[in-house]
Amino acid sequence: MNTGILKFVLDGQIVEIDFNKVGFLPSTTVLNYLRSLHGHKGTKEGCAEGDCGACTVVLGELVDEKIRYRSVDSCLLFLPAIHGKQLITVENLAIRNGRETLLHPVQQALVEQYGSQCGFCTPGIAMSLFALFKSDIEISRHNVIHALAGNLCRCTGYDSIYRAALQAYGNRQPDQFEEKEPETTKLLQQIHAEGISLEIKTIDQIYLLPSTLTEAIEIRASNPQARIINGATDTAIRQNKTHEFLLALLDISGVDELKVIRRENNGFYIGAGLSIESFKAFSEKEMPFLLPMFDVFASWQIRNVASIGGNLATASPIGDFIPLFIALNARLELINHQGKRWVGMENFITGYRQNCLEKNELLLGIHIPYAGQGVVFKTEKVSTRRDLDISTLSIAMRLELDTHNKVQDIILAYGGMADRPKRARHVEKFMMGKTWSKGNIQEARALIENDFTPISDARSGSEYRMAAAKNLLLKMLW
């Protein structure tokens, strides 16, 4: 941790920012930074909460000496998060040669398919299409929707944008980014050679970005007041919307030791720093029963930066993965400078948006035991809109049946039904030892009322939550 100077690549050059010499905070979002520049006003603010994608930019990152491109919402990204990365904005896509403009294939496709109307969402759409263009994702209706679910358009009805995606992807060929990759790689390596941890201290704010776990634990112990972030998709919203002033931040997104996945102790060990998107890629092979949840978890832009640890530690009453991990009997490993400890998923959450982390602790990882023979996992999320929407309620179930189809063990965890994700203990107790049948489940439905007293809020009324919670039991049948 020897440098306080932020460095990244923009417009083919290394940009350096010394926060003691500029008039903005380290926690300035990439969006606000871009909009303060000449020549980068194409990146738009539509909502400042990651729900519309008008501010989508693409980050180029060195992975095994190659550049990997990922779309992100620049409104939810603090500047230090792009340290040692390439920042690509909509202005960078076309090649300009004097008066001539050679459009990138994704731009050309949008023009030809009438994919823009008012044009305000278009830069973000172009960047999501660009990220898709640069990915190795197989093209399909499902995957195009997946790549674009984080971009709202109020004019087109999306059909033209969908066709543009197919056209651009269908004509894929090396683009200017591929041609310039050796140059860009050199610039990124140059930054990385100086070390990628950052210690930014200004009069107003401290922003610490360690690159090793040891550093992170030390900082945590010595700066217990610092807000821990890893992706910051929640904290950034609070800064944007409530003007909450963040005095000190500990950004652990640069710690590679937190991004591990390994088999351990009869299960999987998932590092808390793993991005949701990386966790998804792993689950496709190893835990396919999680995929229905990944499918409806936020957007590509958010999954690319949001971490699994962050999703758990915010302790949201909905927190998509919390009910799931309760059902999976997951345990969380916490660490401080003195040692480690384990805590069960349910006990980790202590109240409304509260967890049991001590002032000097970090969430290190999650252990998910193997299901074992005959164990069934199911999960279902209910939301107003299928994509990019927070659950109205959700359910996750772990079920063990004996050879006579009788319930040997059952966990039913709900999100969105109480001040924290919670098990339906009355229903579980009722079902124990009973035949796993529609009749018994029908009978158990009424017991949901003993387990929960849901509230009415901006997403739905309590009556709906109760009715759906009962019905979700039936959905666990098949």
Helix, strand or coil, per DSSP, at residue 463: helix
**Contact letters for another protein, residues 159-188 (x by CB under 8 A):** xxxx--------------------------
**Contact letters for another protein, residues 39-78 (x by CB under 8 A):** -xxxxxxxxxx-xx-x------------------------
The first and second tokens of residue 176, run together, are 């200017």
Q: 294: which residues sit within 8 A by CB, 6+ positions away? A: 276, 279, 280, 283, 303
Length of the chain: 478
Looking only at residues 308 through 337 of this chain, which bind another protein when binding is defined by CB under 8 A? none
- Nearest CA to 61 among 27, 87, 29, 80? 87
Can you tell me which of 122, 167, 283, 391 binds another protein, judged by CB under 8 A?
Answer: 122
Can you tell me which of 5, 61, 143, 158 binds another protein, judged by CB under 8 A?
Answer: 158
Verify binding: residue 26, another protein, rule CB under 8 A.
no
Give the residue with the Cβ less far from another protein, 51 or 346.
Answer: 51
Task: State the minimum distance, in angstroms, from the CB of residue 260 to another protein.
Answer: 32
Quote the CA–CA distance of 277 and 271 in Å, as a whole number: 13
Size of the site for another protein (CB under 8 A): 78
Looking only at residues 206 through 265 of this chain, which bind another protein when binding is defined by CB under 8 A? 241, 243
DSSP 137: P
- CA torsion angle for 440, 471, 291, 459 (degrees, to 10)? -150
Verify binding: residue 203, another protein, rule CB under 8 A.
no
Residue 15: what residue type?
V
Quote the CA–CA distance of 422 and 354 in Å, as a whole number: 14
Task: State the minimum distance, in angstroms, from the CB of residue 12 to another protein.
Answer: 17
Task: State the minimum distance, in angstroms, from the CB of residue 264 to another protein.
Answer: 36
Q: 21: which residues sit within 8 A by CB, 6+ positions away? A: none
Q: Which stretch binds another protein (CB under 8 A): 200-208, 257-265, 401-409, 465-473?
A: 465-473
Place of tokens 């001590």: 358
Q: Which stretch binds another protein (CB under 8 A): 100-108, 131-139, 269-277, 370-378?
A: 100-108
Can you tell me which of 12, 16, 20, 111 binds another protein, judged by CB under 8 A?
Answer: 111
Verify binding: residue 464, another protein, rule CB under 8 A.
yes
Looking only at residues 398 through 457 of this chain, which bind another protein when binding is defined by CB under 8 A? 457
Can you tell me which of 79, 110, 191, 252 binds another protein, judged by CB under 8 A?
Answer: 110
Enumerate long-range contacts of 348-356, CB under 8 Å, 24 or more apart. 348/312, 348/315, 349/315, 349/322, 349/420, 349/421, 350/315, 351/315, 351/419, 351/420, 352/315, 352/317, 352/419, 352/420, 353/314, 353/315, 353/316, 353/317, 354/315, 355/312, 355/313, 355/315
Can you tell me which of 1, 4, 22, 120 binds another protein, judged by CB under 8 A?
Answer: 120
Q: Which stretch binds another protein (CB under 8 A): 65-73, 143-151, 220-228, 278-286?
A: 143-151
Quote the CA–CA distance of 133 and 108 in Å, as a whole number: 13
Can you tell me which of 86, 89, 223, 275 binds another protein, judged by CB under 8 A?
Answer: 89
- Dihedrals phi, psi of 188, to nearest 5 degrees: -65, -40
Task: State the minimum distance, in angstroms, from the CB of residue 447 to another protein.
Answer: 17
- Nearest CA to 139 among 117, 106, 108, 168? 168
Task: State the minimum distance, in angstroms, from the CB of residue 343 to another protein.
Answer: 30
Task: State the minimum distance, in angstroms, from the CB of residue 35 to another protein.
Answer: 8
Place of tokens 């005959």: 374
DSSP 235: H
Give the residue with the Cβ less far from another protein, 113 or 283.
Answer: 113
Can you tell me which of 17, 30, 144, 287 binds another protein, judged by CB under 8 A?
Answer: 144
Task: State the minimum distance, in angstroms, from the CB of residue 419 to another protein.
Answer: 18
Give the residue with the Cβ less far from another protein, 249 or 270.
Answer: 249
DSSP-derived pairing of the beta strands 331-336 and 362-369: antiparallel
Looking only at residues 376 through 395 of this chain, which bind another protein when binding is defined by CB under 8 A? 380, 382, 384-390, 392
Give the residue with the Cβ less far from another protein, 154 or 186.
Answer: 154
